[in-house]
Amino acid sequence: MRILIVEDHAELAREIAEQLGRCGFVADRVACASEAVEAVETQNYSLMLLDRKLPDGEGISLIPAIRHARPGIRILMVTALDATCEKVSGLEAGADDYLTKPFEPDELIARIRASLRRPGCERAPPVALGFLSFDLGSLEVTVHGMPVLLHQRELALLEALVRQAGRVVLRDTLMTEVFGFSEDVHWNTLNVLVSRLRRRLAELDAGVDIHSARGVGYLMTISTP
């Protein structure tokens, strides 16, 4: 599941991204309002962490454009403005939740998960392929009914392939989905990750195959006898 961090404090944004990564989310970071709008228009985010005071404007002013581009996105304001009137104005402007700085990382994760569970948030039923089941909402993976633990990037890769099962997912798309657009990663890193996930699924007898479309991307299908 993909989250956009809109925060101009680079160190804080990095810390939040690392915390989200440890919890199985893919996080992108932008530092201003214009970059946030561009990111939302080009990527499908489940949730946005939005600072109120940005170098090129007020975070609240972004909400209508964000809602228009991604109606189902959850918006959690994360800001140092802690007066009651500020919280009220943020929520009335369309934010789903409001968290003041400084905050505990565990509270941030709990609020994110709570926002994603609320009615109206896009939730899809688990995808079943072969003996593999992937819950796109909770990011829980099972094979033969037993839970499977995957590393963060293996999980992100599996999610991207499962969402487009039976269709080729472009290499550029996978690079962005798995590593985020802010990371400089070599193509071979993706190839190694695919090989590792393919091997893991084979060991589990998941009943699925990851095929390479040479020079184009990868696709996941149910294994054939």
Question: CA angle, 21 as apex, 20 and 22 as ends, to 5°?
Answer: 90
Domain of residue 145 covers: 127-222
* Same domain (yes/no): 173, 137: yes
CA neighbours closer than 13 Å in the CB half-sphere of residue 149:
2
Residue listed under structure tokens 């926002």: 115
Domain limit, last residue, from 85, 117, 149: 117
Give pLDDT tens digits for 57-83.
888 888 988 888 888 899 999 988 888
Q: Reply yes or no on whether the pLDDT at 122 is more than 70.
A: no
* Same domain (yes/no): 134, 110: no
Domain limit, last residue, from 59, 92, 117: 117
Domain count, the chain: 2
* Same domain (yes/no): 87, 167: no
Choice among 15-24, 121-130, 136-145, 184-193 with the minimum mean pLDDT = 121-130
Domain limit, last residue, from 54, 89, 117: 117
Integer distance in angstroms from the first to the last C-alpha of the chain?
Answer: 32
Q: Reply yes or no on whether the pLDDT at 152 is more than 70.
A: yes
* Same domain (yes/no): 33, 104: yes
CB 45 within 8 A of CB 4: yes
* Same domain (yes/no): 88, 165: no
* Same domain (yes/no): 89, 132: no
Q: Reply yes or no on whether the pLDDT at 124 is more than 60.
A: no
> What pLDDT shows up at residue 212?
93
Q: Rounded to whole angstroms, what are the CA distances from 45 to 52, 64, 94, 180, 187?
A: 19, 16, 17, 12, 24
Alpha-carbon torsion angle 174, 111, 48, 51, nearest 10: -140
Q: Average model confidence (pLDDT) for the chain?
A: 87
Read off the pLDDT band of 117 (50, 70, 90): confident
